[in-house]
Amino acid sequence: MEWENYFKEAIDYCSVAQNASHNGKLGNIVIYNVISMSVENFMTSLLIREGNFPEHSSISGMLREIKKIMPVPEEFTLAVRFINSFMNFCSLEIVPEKIPTDEEIARMVGFATSLKDWTSGCLLPAVTLNAH
């Protein structure tokens, strides 16, 4: 199933972000981008499994779509806003690049890990049911 591919990629990206944040071999901009890909793929997997291809590629847009179909932990909204505060690729103004600190990366990795756990709980029962 297509959602499973997104989910597996999200887990891989999350694992890379966790490891990279601990070993310091990648810069924080790279780790931030890997975290963003992980979060996007977790949300995409959930939406696709529920029969909704994401209307928007932004994580805040996807979170709004998910909230329409199921309850979402309240802290996810703040975490998504925090991650979005580092994005500037859609800005019409020239904005200096905001590089996350190690502490901010740790906060983002914590959210990606929480999202992984929550998404796993939403998706894996479907895998178990389909296996029987």
Q: Which contacts of 86-90 are long-range, i.e. CB under 8 A and separated by 24 or more positions?
A: 86/32, 87/36
pLDDT tens digits, residue range 2-57?
999 999 999 999 999 999 999 988 999 999 999 999 999 999 999 999 998 888 77
* Model pTM above 0.85: yes
Structure tokens at 9: 């990629």
* Domain 2-131: assigned CATH number: 1.20.120.330
pLDDT tens digits, residue range 77-89?
999 999 999 886 6
- Domain-by-domain residue ranges, the chain? 2-131
Between the alpha carbon of residue 115 and those of residues 23, 43, 92, 111, 132, the distances in Å are 22, 9, 30, 6, 26
Cα separation of 74 and 72, whole Å?
Answer: 6
Side-chain-side CA neighbours of residue 84 (13 Å): 16
pLDDT tens digits, residue range 66-110?
999 999 999 999 999 999 998 866 556 666 778 999 999 999 999
Give the phi and the psi of residue 94 in degrees, each rounded to 5.
-80, 115
N- to C-terminal Cα separation, the chain: 16
